[in-house]
Chain A
Amino acid sequence: MVNRDVPRRRVVITGYGMITSLGKDAEETFENASQGKSGIDYLTAFDTTHLPCRIGGQVKEEWLEKSDPEADRFYKFSSRGLKLMRRATLEAAGQARLHELTNRERIGISFGFHGDSPEVDDLMFLHRFYDGKGTWDMKGLMRSGGYSFLNFLRRKPDVATTILPKMFDCKGPNLTVASACAAGSQAIGEAYRLIQEGKADVMIAGGSEAALNFMGFIGFVLIKALAERYSVPQKASRPFDRKRNGFVMSEAAGAVILEEREHARSRKIPILGELLGYGASADAYRITDTHPTGLGAVLAMKGALEEASVRPEKIDYINAHGTSTAMNDVTETKAIKEVFGARAKEIPVSSNKSMLGHSIAGAGALEMILTLMGMNRSIILPTINQEFPDPKCDLDYVPNEARRREHQVALSNSFGFGGQNACLCIGRYVE
């Protein structure tokens, strides 16, 4: 089915970076995750007293402040989502020595981002200039000065891809992907495609999300997607466990540098891994529910395998979407069984969200990087909070403790709210 007439350009990874509730960078996050630590705690960013869910995965303020002293001006004008994005991309670009490249027109950007949610204060402020019937007091609003440019920039998904080209001086293709929880993975997938077809040699790709403010958070409270029953915050995110009851929201950003293989080799940059395939699909079922048999998830995984020319029996590990909602974890399990048949139970499957929570547009990028790091270190990260087995979730979820094992090829799943699915196939780099 897939056209193999044209030799493909191989795409490798030459840099990555992240900032999460478990660490200020990729190294610290991985280290903590390999010890099975949780980054989830009671939220301090806003008043949660009366909310049914009061927890989340926050990034520590000092990680943002101290580690980035030259960014004062940037910080003054940017939202939290952009600050996180800056940290993650700087780390990735530094590792890939992006500054050494001379042809900036061959560097592009692909980022998953949704803009930021309005603050309660914004609503209050706007309300003063609106009569509730369709008429705005624009003169008053303009005079008040609060109707600023940046106020609107904050809510735009493309700010990421507006700021990044300036930050890193890249003039290649530039796109923002806004497909909810699949955005990070789809952004990486689209970047992969742009390199494959020769429109760029290097892409900065990833995702960022910082919806832990009141309006962003209550959005998910209102649709009843969050975990509301937990003894301690650290135990709330329990993918595949019988007592799971919703996801835990987190803020985070992750970024990778994708590069055409010959390009990377010619400049002798260490190659950290290879992106072998990308599959995307849609459930086309319901906006709020995943397909009951995991149809879209199956298509995405099969698509990634096919593009990678990897047979299902070659997959050593699956980094699950595993959100800890009742529905996702069952359908994802079904989908894995559908794709891998009898072998499904032999493949380690784990969810980083058990420790990091769910960082929406950031999640796909983080999980791809953690998968890669695990591969290079021969460590499979665990799914923590596995206490009460769910008969419907009967795979090897790498319960509670990381496992030392060599592995070469893995899948990383991301399934978006609305029914968009993405799967990345990642391999340890071999010449």
Chain B
Amino acid sequence: MMTGAGIICSLGSHVPEVWDALISGRTGIGPIDGFDPNGFSCLLAAQVRPLDISDLKIHPRDARIMDTPSYLLLKAARDAFRGARLEGTQIPREEIGFFAGMGMMDYDIEDLLPAVLKSLDATGGLNYSAFYSRGYTEVHPLWPLSMLNNIGFCQVGTSLDLQGENSVFSPHADSGMMAIAEGAKSVLDGRAQVVLCGGVSEKVSPFSLARARLCGVLNTTGAKDGPSCKPFDAERRGTVLGEGAGVIALERESSARRRGVEPLAAVTGHGCSCECQGGCAGPTAKAMTLAMKSALDRSGLNPSEIDLVMAHGDGTLAGDRSEIEAIQHVFSDGIENLHVSSSKGALGHLLAGAPLADAILTISMMNHGLIPATLHTSAPDPSIRFHLVHGKPVKKDLKRVLINCQSCEGQAASIVVEAAGG
């Protein structure tokens, strides 16, 4: 059972704010701020607003080695923790676990540059002996900490005093899903009473942009003003990076009841499979099919019992194509009545944060009986036979939602979220 949720992304910094923006069709995608993106062929991203970190209670000593992803994860984790009424809880700390998927932690070139500058010879080349003997001491002593993928994770765990079972996965969307699956298993096996499961995107930086571009997933049409991430659109041209994090608290129904905490929804099944289309084109339709089927099997559900598929739908040519094929294969009967939506048109691609954001938004969708439109999509791909929610939200009573995600490197993963008490 999910009993707490925290989200932060380009659309806002708590659940109601993000939901209001999403359902009213606002986009979080805009011109890149913070560095000059000219030359990267993509000028757009869904960045978070500058954070006020004063209310996160971070020790200045720790702030030095924290970057945007760590702040985002901490903010979302705090909200989920509070939402699940875990502040001041009697639950022993070693019974509270923590699992998260994290994107790449990029080194900040500013941390390393002084060492290079101090070691240049007269011609502007690097004097290696100067670098090796003195230059390197210019590197900030805590720089290595800011590079380690698990440090942000441990800072959040330390800040909330979470001593139970834990692991950190990296770096794609599937790692966020894996965090949910492993967290759920830890709770079901009784190794933890409550777990926080989280996922956080990378920071939008020259490095993350370059990486996405080199993987070939980025929209590089260079449009500055138009919307650029169009999931499942016939005219889709690639994805747009987003920043954000989502964290949920999971516990058994009996634990929630004992603590008097209202369950928000239940995670009932997970499946994954890995087979790459080649290059960085994401998993094959077969891998996605297997992931969806195994998540459904584990929930004990037939495809016809699913009310909505929150698709990975990142707006890439190959990724969306195989996802359409896979969804239509799994839901072959009654495909015309199946609703499908993607949040990436509004939020951008949050990588490891994406499945968490989708899981949290699913709770809001269930509460309101509304499916938000897939933003920026106007002419769905002609091969689509399901009901792609676009243009405007659709009213529907939602009990069971299948959420998909994939890594560009071939892993597909799915979970089923069911309404609490449903």
A positions within 8 Å CB-CB of B: 1-3, 47, 49-51, 105, 108-109, 114-115, 117-118, 120-121, 123-124, 126-127, 130, 132, 134-139, 141-142, 147-149, 152, 155-158, 161-162, 165-166, 170-180, 183, 186, 189-190, 193, 197, 199, 214, 218-220, 222-223, 279-288, 295-296, 299, 303, 307, 416-420
Contacts and interface: CB of A to CB of B under 8 A. Distances in A.
Contacts of B167: 177, 179, 186, 189-190, 280, 420
B365 interface: no
A85 B80 CA distance: 38
A130 B214 contact: no
Nearest to A117: B147
Given A180-B148, A299-B94, A165 B274 contact: yes
B223 interface: no
A162 B409 contact: yes
Contacts of B274: 108-109, 165, 170-174
Nearest to A142: B39
Contacts, number: 231
B89 interface: no
B257 to A, nearest CB: 17
Given A132-B113, A287-B154, A165 B410 contact: yes
B258 to A, nearest CB: 15
B23 interface: no
Given A1-B191, A175-B174, A418-B151, 10 more contacts: A156-B211, A162-B276, A176-B170, A179-B168, A199-B271, A223-B142, A283-B163, A287-B158, A299-B164, A303-B165
Nearest to A155: B104
A6 to B, nearest CB: 8
A197 B185 contact: yes
A192 to B, nearest CB: 11
Contacts of B112: 118, 123
Chain A contact residues: helix, strand, loop or mixed: mixed
Contact of B155 (A47, A127, A287, A417): A287
B39 A139 contact: yes
Nearest to A138: B39
B168 A178 contact: yes
Contacts of B151: 287, 418
A175 B162 CA distance: 23
B149 A120 contact: no
A219 B107 CA distance: 12
Interface in B149-197: 149-151, 153-155, 157-158, 160-172, 174-175, 178, 182, 185, 188-191
Interface residues of B, number: 87
B82 interface: no
B94 A281 contact: yes
B288 to A, nearest CB: 12
B144 A223 contact: yes
Nearest to A120: B131
B290 interface: yes
- Leading 3 A-B pairs by shortest Cβ distance: A138-B39, A219-B144, A418-B154
A148 B210 CA distance: 10
Contact of A175 (B102, B134, B178, B276): B178
Given A134-B36, A158-B409, A179-B168, A152 B210 contact: yes
Nearest to B155: A287
Nearest to A418: B154
Contacts of A420: 150, 153-154, 166-168
Nearest to B141: A222
A165 B276 contact: yes
Nearest to A136: B206
Interface in B253-312: 271-276, 287, 290, 294
Nearest to A416: B150
B71 interface: no
A182 to B, nearest CB: 8
Given A135-B35, A176-B175, A284 B210 contact: no
A346 B349 CA distance: 55
Contacts of B410: 162, 165, 174
A123 B102 contact: no
7 contacts: A47-B132, A109-B274, A117-B147, A157-B170, A158-B172, A172-B273, A222-B144
A418 B66 CA distance: 13
B36 A176 contact: no
Interface in B192-230: 206-207, 210-211, 214
B98 A282 contact: yes
Contacts of B93: 284
Interface of B: 34-36, 38-40, 62, 65, 93-94, 98, 102, 104, 107, 109-110, 112-113, 115-117, 125-126, 128-129, 131-134, 136, 139-145, 147-151, 153-155, 157-158, 160-172, 174-175, 178, 182, 185, 188-191, 206-207, 210-211, 214, 271-276, 287, 290, 294, 407, 409-411
Contact of A299 (B155, B163, B168): B163
A50 B206 CA distance: 33
Contacts of B153: 179, 418, 420
A242 B126 CA distance: 42
Contact of B171 (A49, A157, A416, A418): A157
B158 A284 contact: yes
A149 B210 CA distance: 9
A160 B167 CA distance: 17
A2 B191 contact: yes
B87 to A, nearest CB: 15
Contacts of A180: 148, 150
Contact of A222 (B39, B139, B168, B188): B139
A120 to B, nearest CB: 6
A284 B167 CA distance: 13
Contacts of B189: 2-3
Contacts of B290: 105, 171
Contacts of B131: 120
A338 to B, nearest CB: 13
A174 B126 contact: no
Given A134-B36, A139-B39, A287-B151, A193 B185 contact: yes
A139 B185 CA distance: 48
Nearest to A124: B126
Contacts of A161: 409
B231 to A, nearest CB: 23
A274 B387 CA distance: 49
A178 B93 CA distance: 23
A45 B65 CA distance: 29
A339 to B, nearest CB: 13
A49 B104 CA distance: 32
A115 B107 CA distance: 12
Contacts of A282: 98, 154, 157-158, 162-164, 166
Nearest to A298: B94
Given A3-B189, A214-B132, A284-B157, A179 B150 contact: yes
B166 A138 contact: no
B132 A49 contact: yes
B147 A219 contact: yes
A127 B117 CA distance: 9
Contacts of B175: 175-176
A175 B172 CA distance: 10
